[in-house]
Amino acid sequence: MIAEERVQQLAREKVLELGGFLVSAKVSMQNEIQVFVDKAEGILITECLQISRHIENELDREIEDFQLSVSSPGLSKAFLVEQQYQKNIGKEIVVKLRQGKKIKGKLIAFDGNIVLEINKKEKGKKQIKKEEKVILLEEIKETKLVIKF
């Protein structure tokens, strides 16, 4: 089986060279390699192709065959690395806390913890009040981008 650490190292090398970051790299028992990469301004298909070629050139198909897929993590996937928070500052996200509560708001800062701007409706009033909420990373079970159509 191809070592997952080796794939992560190869993917990280090339994506850093391109100015991006590695989100994840997994190898299944059937040697199906799935790599997710991104950049602050978004990763291009041509850059994914460069990363794929770099990994393919470093792994020997003659010794061990594999299937390789390199792409962006997609809009609907949960955040896996801190760089995804940095990339999405100014955008609306949904945070699911370990205790089960969900909080929706605009990500306004990330400094190891996240700062959300949330809309609070005051009881008995029609006005919506904006409020900042700091959430520690260790309290977070899952974070996703809110997709608007």
Both 23 and 52 in a single domain?
A: yes
Residues 67 and 33 sit within 8 Å (Cβ to Cβ) = yes
**Domain CATH code at residue 11:** 3.30.300.70
Is position 40 within any domain? yes
Domain end (from 39, 71, 103): 71
- What six digits make up the tokens of 61? 């198909």
Both 54 and 20 in a single domain?
A: yes
Is position 76 within any domain? no
Domain end (from 20, 38, 71): 71
Structure letter (DSSP) for residue 146: P
Both 61 and 89 in a single domain?
A: no
* Over residues 48-74, mean pLDDT: 95
Is position 57 within any domain? yes
- Work out how many domains the chain is built from and give that number: 2
Confidence band of 149 (pLDDT split at 50, 70, 90):
confident
Is position 77 within any domain? no
**Domain CATH code at residue 139:** 2.30.30.100
Domain end (from 42, 71, 100): 71
| Domain span including residue 119 | 82-145
Q: Report the predicted TM-score, pTM, of the whole model to 2 decimal places.
A: 0.87
Residues 84 and 116 sit within 8 Å (Cβ to Cβ) = no
Both 62 and 93 in a single domain?
A: no
The per-residue pLDDT for 120 is: 85
Q: What percent of the chain has pLDDT over 70?
A: 100
Smallest CA-to-CA distance from 66 within 25, 23, 34, 24 is with 34
Residues 109 and 115 sit within 8 Å (Cβ to Cβ) = yes
Structure letter (DSSP) for residue 99: T
Using the predicted structure, report yes or no on whether residue 2 has a pLDDT greater than 80: yes
